[in-house]
A and B are shown apart, each in its own frame.
Chain A
């Protein structure tokens, strides 16, 4: 009976009566994994670390990671504390439109969605270029299957294969979402542990191998293809000859661009905000803490992996290999650490297993990325600014039409990227910058939330302060500062690739922001002519 009350656990501090309960689908453990995936150490080791070493010769990667940690925490707590206050799906759109103004929410969602679609297109390319191709090349070289190597090399330049594998991956990441949270979370967690196992196995194996062991194995492996007895030292010498600084002295100024590069994958651990309405215990501090852990733990793992790989493979050798010093006969595109570990173990089966475990990262990150677009479309539809039809869900609760729209848009950009890879990778740098506009707007919402929404703030678990200043405002301020810093870095350092064409850069970054702002008023006018005042969807009712 409803009046049959019972004292609950001591930690909850309340007496609860038996009554119908609200049940949400995503448990804290799964939300931690969702937050962990965008900055997964495997991705950072595969796609980011070597780029960071290249753009910051003389920079210290460990110092850079240390500097990135407070930046990551700023975004985690800005998003997390606001999500605790407004535990609804929709992410930045929901937070910014409710705290500031719907038109600013539109600016934010256009920027975030542009970045998401560009990222999805990148993932479509990456599954082939830094996934299937290096797997085949590495396994083919180690197992001495030249046919596999040849196919991979041809496939890497074939637009048809790129499109086939990219679109297949989009389809796969869409289909697993159609099955609903129950199945999806199971697949998500399995894939997550597969990817984590790949980096874990490689790191552990490398930890227990000496530099001398690796040098011997590498030389004997390379000799089969080059007929040279000391390819290890030859790689270093070739890089030095090409002007690569393989053992540069420490430079703090060279560490700064490294910070900007690490920050591009390490500051997105707020991803569960997009499913805020589906998280269990979303109103508690667990939401923020899970975001913080999802950002900091991968950075610590990256630091450990970097130290282990530098120890066994040799820092000068890694810089040389990354700088193009590897003999042409044994080059692979990307995934250097996995490849070198395969050589060091000398087993094609081991190489296949670690690559196979790692490759599922790409469909995993694609599904995670689409959460932003689908939930934003869904939230905007409920607000009456997009047609209600897009809120259709299947029997498993998946917003299938919103998902289809997101994947179709991503496919169009992906195909453009396949046909214009040089231009696209510069555009990808713009994706970081345009996303930062949305993230900085969330930071600004964090600064203003205690002032603009005092009742909501006081009644939430986000009411925490440091030296009398609300924590959400401090985190918001840090988020805005970080956004400004990364923008400055991308404009300042030519090697980051974003400042080559300022006009194009502004079109891809400020363009979506302006478009979102203008379109809000256009849509509002259209809906008003249909008798629907969309502003009502955002406005807080004055309580009697």
Chain B
């Protein structure tokens, strides 16, 4: 506690006009990562938290409950069983820890979910929204109390129904597609990505993505001191290397091995090169964590390993006209 207070004090003693922020992205339904994201505010003594998108999980794990009260589920290809409420709680926590949604149901309902696509889609929507509401509610309650600004946008993987939950938040600021202020810096945010093999909900071709970004940057008063919070990283920047996929979502092999290629957005790269903001924050490509200078702009991809319970992030301190310091952290 003493060290936390000390760090907070150190932060508040920083140079006037300096703002410190913690950025993370791609928590993909991991409750522990979301809670750590919120905890990062006080832990690192920052003024603002920025979540760069892809909030929702990718999988529902059915926990089949028998009439006797016993239950079973398969997690990480391991069979887990139990009989007591305490064991069930531990299992649900383990599922959430890995960024998946637990769903407790009887055998008949689980079988129906297996066979009925519409039922399964409804199930996904329900568990996703329930979880997101809980997350935002927690953030509203705690971060308002601590006086830490929280900026959240969805990512290309997040369904549109998430936007209503973010817009309805009290303290959390939904920032996608608008200009907000982080300290003295303007920040634009964009949840869209360029096309992916998965055809996720928020994708635009490069021309449309550029037009959208240009609309946003045209509204900036001081582009040189701005922060770009863009989910997809710039093309061929070293922040966007991923293995190539076939249209059928299988991995493309060349010579019997996976084929790494740059998959970032040319539109994002172009807008950064043209506007030269102070800082560009990215996620999307989990395995391409790193930093690069594009002209004067420091571009960062914090990557993600949400299913290990560790949140990858960056603590950045900004003066009005420069990045004072930045540090990758894993919490």
Neighbouring A residues of B176 by C-beta, 8 Å: none
**Binary contact track B125-138/A, C-beta < 8 Å → 1, others 0:** 10000000000001
Q: Does A15 contact B (CB under 8 A)?
A: yes
Neighbouring B residues of A17 by C-beta, 8 Å: 58-59, 124
Q: Does A134 contact B (CB under 8 A)?
A: no
Number of interface residues of A (CB under 8 A): 67
Distance between A431 CB and nearest chain B CB, rounded to angstroms: 31
Q: Which of B38, B94, B260 contacts A397 (CB 8 A)?
A: B260
Q: A7-B120, A388-B291, A461-B78 are in contact. Are A20 and B200 (CB under 8 A)?
A: yes
Q: Does A24 contact B (CB under 8 A)?
A: yes
| Segment among B178-186, B211-219, B241-249, B269-277 that sits at the interface with chain A | B241-249
Q: Does B16 contact A (CB under 8 A)?
A: no
Q: A15-B124, A382-B289 are in contact. Are A182 and B39 (CB under 8 A)?
A: no
B284 touches A20 (CB 8 A): yes
B305 touches A459 (CB 8 A): no
Neighbouring B residues of A14 by C-beta, 8 Å: 59-62, 74, 100
**Binary contact track A528-541/B, C-beta < 8 Å → 1, others 0:** 00111100111111
Neighbouring B residues of A12 by C-beta, 8 Å: 74, 77
**Binary contact track A512-535/B, C-beta < 8 Å → 1, others 0:** 000000000000000000111100
A461 touches B77 (CB 8 A): yes
Distance between A25 CB and nearest chain B CB, rounded to angstroms: 5
Interface residues on B, range: 35 or more
Closest to A544 in B: B38
Distance between A187 CB and nearest chain B CB, rounded to angstroms: 10
Q: Does B84 contact A (CB under 8 A)?
A: no
Q: Does B66 contact A (CB under 8 A)?
A: no
Distance between A289 CB and nearest chain B CB, rounded to angstroms: 12
CB within 8 Å of A: which B252-270 residues: 254-260
Q: Does B189 contact A (CB under 8 A)?
A: no
Number of A-B contacts (CB under 8 A): 207
CA distance A283 to B305 in the complex (A): 11
Closest to A392 in B: B238
Distance between A445 CB and nearest chain B CB, rounded to angstroms: 16
Q: Does A495 contact B (CB under 8 A)?
A: no
Q: Does B12 contact A (CB under 8 A)?
A: no
B138 touches A2 (CB 8 A): no
Neighbouring A residues of B258 by C-beta, 8 Å: 23, 25, 27, 181-182
CB within 8 Å of A: which B274-290 residues: 284, 286-287, 289-290
A182 touches B257 (CB 8 A): yes
Q: A25-B260, A455-B309, A537-B330 are in contact. Are A3 and B125 (CB under 8 A)?
A: yes
Q: Does B32 contact A (CB under 8 A)?
A: yes
Most A CB contacts (10 A, CB to CB) among B58, B243, B251 go to B58
A21 touches B198 (CB 8 A): yes
CA distance A395 to B305 in the complex (A): 22
Q: Does A180 contact B (CB under 8 A)?
A: yes
Q: Does B225 contact A (CB under 8 A)?
A: no
B327 touches A384 (CB 8 A): yes
Neighbouring B residues of A502 by C-beta, 8 Å: none
Neighbouring B residues of A16 by C-beta, 8 Å: 58-59
B287 touches A7 (CB 8 A): no
CA distance A348 to B142 in the complex (A): 79
CA distance A12 to B157 in the complex (A): 21
A88 touches B311 (CB 8 A): no
CA distance A339 to B44 in the complex (A): 64
A2 touches B291 (CB 8 A): no
**Binary contact track A378-409/B, C-beta < 8 Å → 1, others 0:** 00001110001001010011000000000000
Neighbouring B residues of A284 by C-beta, 8 Å: 76-77
Q: A19-B58, A393-B238, A541-B311 are in contact. Are A186 and B121 (CB under 8 A)?
A: no
Q: Does A456 contact B (CB under 8 A)?
A: yes
CA distance A4 to B291 in the complex (A): 34
CB within 8 Å of B: which A1-53 residues: 1-8, 11-25, 27
Distance between A472 CB and nearest chain B CB, rounded to angstroms: 14
Q: Does A196 contact B (CB under 8 A)?
A: no
A88 touches B305 (CB 8 A): yes
B260 touches A181 (CB 8 A): yes
**Binary contact track B145-157/A, C-beta < 8 Å → 1, others 0:** 0000000000011
6 cross-chain CB contacts under 8 A: A15-B61, A15-B124, A18-B198, A25-B258, A459-B94, A532-B325
Q: Show the binding face of B for A, using Cβ within 8 Å.
A: 7, 28, 32, 35-36, 38-40, 43-44, 54, 56, 58-62, 73-79, 90, 93-94, 97-98, 100, 113-114, 117, 120-121, 123-125, 138, 142, 156-159, 193, 196, 198-201, 238, 241-243, 245, 249, 251, 254-260, 284, 286-287, 289-291, 304-305, 307-311, 315, 317, 324-325, 327-331
Q: Which 3 A-B pairs have the closest CB atoms?
A: A13-B74, A541-B331, A543-B35
What 19 new A-B contacts, CB under 8 Å, besides A2-B200, A13-B73, A284-B76? A1-B201, A2-B56, A5-B60, A7-B114, A22-B286, A25-B260, A87-B308, A181-B257, A182-B255, A186-B256, A284-B77, A382-B328, A384-B328, A397-B241, A536-B44, A537-B329, A539-B43, A539-B331, A543-B35
Q: Show the binding face of A for B, using Cβ within 8 Å.
A: 1-8, 11-25, 27, 85-88, 180-183, 185-186, 277-278, 283-285, 382-384, 388, 391, 393, 396-397, 455-456, 458-461, 463, 530-533, 536-544
